[in-house]
Amino acid sequence: MFNLKKKSFKRFDFILFITVVLLSIYGIIMIRSATLSYEDIRAVRPVRVQAISTILGIIAVFFLVLLDYQFIGKLYIPIYVVSVLMLLAVALFGIGAEQWGSDSWLKIGSFVFQPAEIAKVGIIIFLAKYIDNNKDKINKPITLLKIIALAGIPILLIAKQPDLGTAIVFVFFTVIMLFAAGIDWKYIGYVALVGIISLPILWFSLKSYQRDRIFDFLNPERDTSGTGYQALQSRIAIGSGKVFGRGLFQGVQTQYNYIPEKQTDFIFAVIGEELGLIGGLILILLYFILLYRLLKIARDSKDTFGSLMVTGFTAMFLIHIWENIGMTIGLMPITGIPLPFLSYGGTFQLINLMCIGIALSVGVHREGLNF
């Protein structure tokens, strides 16, 4: 399980690893800037938590690289059960609605975490292995219905928190993984048709604040002092940064606390204001390298399970990046989706780094051999 030949390390993707380290350092610096204006423990704790999570995550990366990812695949059923049970626990004992708008967190003693972040990885691992086991029957309706049902359970549990943004992430990587597995285009058409037909049902199931976010997206001037305040302040911050930015730690919107959730969901607004277009483009370039290297690992893998798993991770990162940056510049409705490796969140950072560790393991063990 841990016996790795030296020649296998030649397949270790140093470019991917260095890119992730640079993104994490970038994130810690920007979190420090975002919390600099706070006068209490909020000015210190986010940076400390992010740094500790990053160190633990890097340790986890090397552990997972040494661990043959096929061992993880053997545990796909327990991983799925634990993921669903955690989400059920959130439905029964979740906290956070008063502060963040949804009961998406669990508290054990002084430790608070978001199970949906852990469940993302668990469901991707499960789907990759389940599809691998049924790859010859992927286009049979009964097999496809089983996959949709198994993926639908966690999606519905997350939607009930309510956390529509995270539920959309689950839907996105599930569809991408099925597409990569060779699902017939007609089924994609059926799903799209069902999605369109169900839009009225989805609309009336939304909370009032979720509808307001869509209205504010369609009409940015609708309620700039209320529900549209976040989006407006984000656009002002990014626009005022221009090409080179106001300077690190010098942002007016950032340092005078005009941007809500600036160390988490709206960290890109801090980057846009203080580092300008250049800082934003550097970040997007790093993300492009990240996604490209992950796709390369998925493509080069000789094993369906490993390839689909890395494809799922790539899709997860992509939707996070697209939605988060899009909502801060006004191209997407606001959701509570953080920016990978940049936004403050100990659980989020640790889980993202673990995904990288598993992906690197797929690259190192991609021949499907037991070293």
CA distances, 99 to each of 24, 102, 237, 257 (Å):
26, 8, 24, 17
| pLDDT for position 4 | 55
CA distances, 119 to each of 226, 269, 273, 315, 356 (Å):
33, 28, 34, 15, 16
241, part of any domain = yes
Who contacts 107 (Cβ-Cβ below 8 Å, separation ≥6)? 95
Residue 52's H or E segment, with its range, is helix 45-66
299, part of any domain = yes
The token pair at 161 is: 């928190």
369, part of any domain = no
Cis omega before residue 78 (within 30°)?
Answer: no
Residue 113's H or E segment, with its range, is strand 111-113
| pLDDT for position 278 | 97
The token pair at 216 is: 């504010």
Q: pTM of the prediction? A: 0.93
The range of the structural domain enclosing residue 77 comes to 6-364
Q: How far from each other are the two terminal CA atoms of the chain, in whole angstroms? A: 7
Q: Where are the beta strands (DSSP E) in 234-314?
A: none
Measured distance CA(210)–CA(85) in Å, rounded: 26
Phi, psi of 113 (to 5 degrees): -145, 165
Measured distance CA(77)–CA(46) in Å, rounded: 35
| pLDDT for position 370 | 41
Decide: 121 and 351 in contact? Cβ < 8 Å.
Answer: yes
54, part of any domain = yes
The low-confidence residues of the chain, meaning pLDDT below 50, are 7, 368-371
370, part of any domain = no
Measured distance CA(118)–CA(138) in Å, rounded: 26
248-290 pLDDT per residue, tens? 999 999 999 899 889 999 999 999 999 999 999 999 999 999 9
Measured distance CA(33)–CA(128) in Å, rounded: 39
Report the candidate in 335, 306, 110, 56 with the shortest Cα–Cα distance to residue 216. 335
How many domains are there within the chain? Answer: 1
153, part of any domain = yes
282-339 pLDDT per residue, tens? 999 999 999 999 999 999 998 999 999 999 999 999 999 999 999 999 999 988 899 9
CA distances, 275 to each of 33, 245, 271, 284, 356 (Å):
11, 4, 5, 13, 27
Measured distance CA(90)–CA(102) in Å, rounded: 10
| pLDDT for position 222 | 86
1, part of any domain = no
Measured distance CA(139)–CA(145) in Å, rounded: 10
371, part of any domain = no
| pLDDT for position 2 | 55
Question: b or e along 264-289 (b: 16 or more beta carbons within 10 Å of the residue's beta carbon)?
Answer: bbbbbbbbbbbbbeebbeebeebbeb
Residue 333's H or E segment, with its range, is none
Q: How many CB atoms lie within 10 A of CB 187?
A: 16
